[in-house]
Amino acid sequence: MNWHEIDRFLMGEAWSGSLIKQHLTKLADVIGPRWGGSPEDRCAAAYIRDQMEIAGVDSADVEPFQLDSWNHGDVSITLPDDNNRSIAALPFLRCKPIDVTTPLIDAGHASPHEVEALGARIKGSIVLSSISPEPFTSAEPFTARIVRLAKAGAACVIAIEPKTGGRMEYANSDEWLNIRPQKDAIAVVKTSSEDGAYLRRIASGSPQVHVSVQSEYIDTEAHNTVAEIKGSTHPERHLILAGHHDTVLNTPGGNDNTSGTIGVMETARVMAALVKEMGVRPGMSIRFATWSGEEQHLQGAKAYVARHYSEAAANQEVKPLLNINLDELSTGHMKGIVLAFPHLRKFMQSQLDTMNDGLKCHVLAHMDAHSDHFPFVEQAIDASITWRWRFWARHEDANFHHETADAANKLNVRELKEYAGQLARLLLRLSYVSPDDWPTNPLTISDVNQMIERDAGGHHPAFH
Ligand SMILES: [Zn+2]
């Protein structure tokens, strides 16, 4: 292997052969928001599959799966008849339908002492709460505070967005790592920072507020895409590079996750070009997947893992040696790889060192269920995310996800070119280490379940 020649080809092709602009325009501007299970989501999957074929991979398919989803209709927060000031309203994801008019009360940050002080007044009321935690107290996820308000009998929660300027992110009311999620427990509607402050000013008069959410739960079909470049030395084993192509409602998801989707497509393209133009195939096979339903509890990646690797699968495959998950790549440039399990740390670092770019390998100290690596982790498959910004070097202008303004201009084109080249170099190196020479994973599925149980419901400061 002439790594110098190969690296030069991969980085050059990632840079000068880039189709990022074409893919970005198609996915984020022409197709637009891609809520899992929607026609747009399906259209994106078909486009990605077609582009994988054009890039020259050995196979490219769309894999349908059943998605447990819902549709949101109108949502509103309205004030008493003599006050027609408009109030911004956005349902939390999977918010149940509600139509209620009751007094509004202000619970501050819904911390324990605040909820206790309000006592029986919470029962049957619409409760206003900041999403940001109470300063100087031990941090507690908002999801845990929602549960506290639900237990105290609140009819509904109005959550105040921490971001200002009218920006509002779609959010979930149940923590994904919760083993017994609180979904459907209580309706939660978000309002803007500015309108929340107004509600707070009038709440002392206990005005009768009307909250209405139209929504319905549905079963629908959604679509993953799976492409592959066959390996030369160990074609029966594989590594997976993947990221979700779906978005939350009403956003084209420039950062979350058109960036990761195009990262998968471009890495596949430059690796396929390496086969065509230099005759260099990976050692093990490389699979390139994009998931739907990430924003709906990781259902796409879960369906893929169940279909391909679970004992119940019709054609159970040998598990991959590693999953690399790409999500929100525009938050920072590629600084390394973060593993879910520790035993590959030295091995991964030694591979990164051969690239001579200062990339670092780190290991998550806790179970992280915030993206599509998690369904692999649950099956005790080695999984990882890319190190982009956490702890330092987050791009402030890329602090966008789950909101309308996460548009195509939030995708950082030049950094994404670098990602594609670096990921291709890394995957090629990893594919040439014989599966027998990879450190064995000592963890079983039951070990992993215990680790999840240990961390469920906790607050992880590195992520907030
Ligand atoms: Zn995402």
Model pLDDT, residue 464: 37
For residue 298, how far is its CA from the centre of ligand 1 (angstroms)? 10
CA–CA separation, 131 and 219 (whole Å)? 30
Of 239, 359, 273, residue with least CA distance to 13:
273
Residue with tokens 């790549």: 329
Helix (H) or strand (E) holding 236, with range, is strand 234-244
Kindly give the distance from the C-alpha atom of residue 248 to the centroid of ligand 1, in angstroms, as a whole number: 9
CB 249 within 8 A of CB 403: no
How many angstroms does the Cα of residue 297 sit away from the middle of ligand 1?
11
CA of 43 to the centre of ligand 1 (A): 19
**Which class would CATH give 84-206?**
alpha beta
Look up the pTM and report it.
Answer: 0.93
Phi, psi of 446 (to 5 degrees): -70, -35
Task: Tell me the CA–centroid distance for residue 295 and ligand 1, in Å.
Answer: 7
As given in the structure block, the two tokens for residue 63 are: 């894999």
Is 462 strand, coil or helix? helix
**Strands 383-387 vs 188-191: parallel, antiparallel or unpaired:** unpaired
Are the beta carbons of 90 and 75 closer than 8 angstroms? yes
Ligand 1 center to 254 CA (angstroms): 10
| Three-state SS at 41 | helix
By percentage, how much of the chain surpasses pLDDT 70?
96
Tokens of 300: 């796409």
DSSP string, 119-138: GGGGTTSEEEEESSPPTTSP
372 CA from centroid of ligand 1 (Å): 8
How many A from CA of 327 to the centre of ligand 1? 5
State which residues have CB under 5 angstroms from ligand 1, the bound ion. Answer: 256-257, 327
Q: Which two tokens stand for residue 266?
A: 């471009």
End-to-end CA distance of the chain: 43
CA of 141 to the centre of ligand 1 (A): 19
How remote is the C-alpha of 442 from its chain's centroid?
Answer: 27
| pLDDT value at residue 180 | 56
Parse the chain into domains and list their residue ranges: 3-69+219-463, 84-206
How far away, in angstroms, is 231 Cα from ligand 1 center?
A: 29
Residue 81's pLDDT is 87
Q: Look at residue 141 in the predicted model and tell me its pLDDT.
A: 86
pLDDT of residue 463: 46
Q: How confident is the model at residue 73 (pLDDT cuts 50, 70, 90)?
A: confident
CA 256 to ligand 1 center in whole angstroms = 5
Instruction: Compute, in angstroms, the gap from residue 203 CA to the centroid of ligand 1.
Output: 35
Among the listed ranges 156-165, 166-175, 190-199, which one has the minimum average pLDDT value? 166-175
* Percentage of the chain exceeding pLDDT 90: 82
270 alpha carbon to ligand 1 midpoint, in Å? Answer: 23
Task: Put residue 440 in one of left, alpha, beta given phi > 0 → left and psi -120 to 50 → alpha.
Answer: beta
Over residues 90-138, the pLDDT tens digits come to: 999 888 899 999 999 999 999 999 999 999 999 999 999 999 999 998 8
Number of H helices, E strands in the chain: 12, 13
Compute the distance between CA of residue 276 and CA of residue 55 in angstroms, rounded to an integer: 10
Q: How far is the CA of 294 from the centre of ligand 1 (A)?
A: 7
Which pLDDT belongs to residue 93? 86
How far does residue 255's CA lie from ligand 1's centre (Å)?
8
402 C-alpha to center of ligand 1: Å? 8
Chain center to CA of 219: 21
CB burial class (10 A; 0-12, 13-18, 19+) of residue 218? exposed
Length of the chain: 464
CA of 257 to the centre of ligand 1 (A): 5
Cβ count near 442 (within 10 Å) = 10
- Report which of 126, 160, 155, 125 is spatially closest to residue 142, judged by C-alpha positions: 160
Distances (CA, A) of 455 to 34, 107, 179, 444, 451: 31, 27, 10, 17, 6
Average pLDDT of the residues of the chain: 93
Distance 241 CA to ligand 1 centre (A): 15
Q: What is the pLDDT of residue 175?
A: 67
DSSP 3-state helix, strand, coil percentages of the chain (rounded to 5)?
Answer: 40, 25, 40
Cβ burial of 82 (10 Å; 0-12, 13-18, 19+) is exposed
Tell me the per-residue pLDDT of 315-343, one tens digit each, with 9 for 90 and over.
899 999 999 999 999 999 999 999 999 99
Residue 229 forms beta bridges with which residues? 286
Q: Which CATH class is domain 3-69+219-463?
A: alpha beta
**pLDDT tens column, 239-298:** 999 999 999 999 999 999 999 999 999 999 999 999 999 999 999 999 999 999 999 999
Give 63's contacts (C-beta < 8 A, 6+ positions apart).
223, 224, 225, 226, 303, 304, 307
